[in-house]
Amino acid sequence: MRVHCQSKAASEILQALGLAHLMTPDRTQADLVVTHAPRPDAESPNTLTLSPRTVEDTFDDILRVAEALGEPARGLDLVVRLRGRLHAAQDFVNPYLDGPAVLILDSLDPLRLPGLWVPQLVERAGGQFPWNPTSAAHEAGAAAGPQMAYRTAGEAVTISPTQAEMHRPEFVVFALVGQSLEEARDAVREVTAQSWFQSLPAVHKGQVAIIAGDTLATPGPGLVEAFEFLVGFLNGREELIPEGLRDARIA
């Protein structure tokens, strides 16, 4: 079988499944097209459209892709390993504390905060995301503790500098969508020099970081690594931060 991936997340899923050799850049030669869409239309027989909104959705997508490729065991093995890493990291989070406000920006003009799975990751890592908080899914009760998997957030939102200051974030993460780490480092300089930003508790505490934007924006297996970064960063557990993200702190 030949597979054409129309999103970075789809490519990451195939790579994590050990099936990258099935990928083809030519859609006309593909037996299966895997794509992502916020609201999928009716799928054609050879198209698999993924529309994740939560971390759990991304795990389900891995299983769907593996099933479509006739490799369900590979999918289950990968999801078990990813869930194990997620739960191992979450063991370092104190569920009884009200966590600090965490400002994550995925665009600078205007200032934009991510939604969907990102607020869920922040809250599960021990932080608060008051600009775009999660809410309990229908019939999930309070969705507290282990039930946090059933909390969801809305789409990305734009804010003003005044709104950014309002919740006095103790941590700031720049994760600019579509930009490499080096591109993002150049882009944030104008914002970090502004008075509103310099007034944030995160700056005074040296708790500002910058990561490649796709780390949080890509709904694939890499979200577990992003979660490990957040747990380590927010809880002072540097040993939990994946090696490729350990130089993220910029102030």
| Distance separating alpha carbons of residues 53 and 77, to the nearest angstrom | 22
Looking only at the bridges linking them, the beta strands covering 157-159 and 111-113 are antiparallel
Looking only at the bridges linking them, the beta strands covering 102-105 and 171-174 are parallel
Q: Is 229 a domain residue?
A: yes
User: What is the mean predicted confidence (pLDDT) over 189-207?
Assistant: 95
User: Does 181 lie in the same domain as 112?
Assistant: yes
Single-letter amino acid code for the residue at 177: V
| Distance separating alpha carbons of residues 20 and 204, to the nearest angstrom | 45
| CA-atom Rg of the chain in angstroms | 19
User: What is the mean predicted confidence (pLDDT) over 45-64?
Assistant: 93
User: Does 188 lie in the same domain as 152?
Assistant: yes
Q: What is the pLDDT of residues 218-246, one digit of tens each?
A: 999 999 999 999 999 999 999 999 998 88
Q: What is the pTM of this model?
A: 0.91
Contacts of residue 217, Cβ cutoff 8 Å, sequence gap at least 6: 106, 114, 175, 177
Q: What is the pLDDT of residues 169-195, one digit of tens each?
A: 999 999 999 888 888 888 999 999 999
Looking only at the bridges linking them, the beta strands covering 171-174 and 208-210 are parallel
User: Does 207 lie in the same domain as 109?
Assistant: yes
Residue 251: pLDDT above 60?
A: no
User: Does 81 lie in the same domain as 110?
Assistant: no
Name the band, by pLDDT with cuts 50, 70 and 90, for residue 143: very low
In the sheet that holds 111-113, the strands lie side by side as 107-108, 111-113, 157-159
User: Does 46 lie in the same domain as 111?
Assistant: no
User: Does 137 lie in the same domain as 75?
Assistant: no
What integer best gives the mean pLDDT of the chain?
90
User: Among 33, 68, 90, which residue terminates a domain?
Assistant: 90
User: Does 147 lie in the same domain as 234?
Assistant: yes
Number of domains in the chain: 2
Residue 141: pLDDT above 50?
A: no
User: Does 135 lie in the same domain as 34?
Assistant: no
pLDDT of residue 178: 87
Name the band, by pLDDT with cuts 50, 70 and 90, for residue 146: very low
Q: Is 250 a domain residue?
A: no
User: Does 152 lie in the same domain as 118?
Assistant: yes
| Distance separating alpha carbons of residues 158 and 163, to the nearest angstrom | 10
Q: Is 154 a domain residue?
A: yes
CATH code for the domain in which residue 153 is found: 3.40.50.1980
User: What is the mean predicted confidence (pLDDT) over 56-67?
Assistant: 96
Range of the domain at 210: 102-245
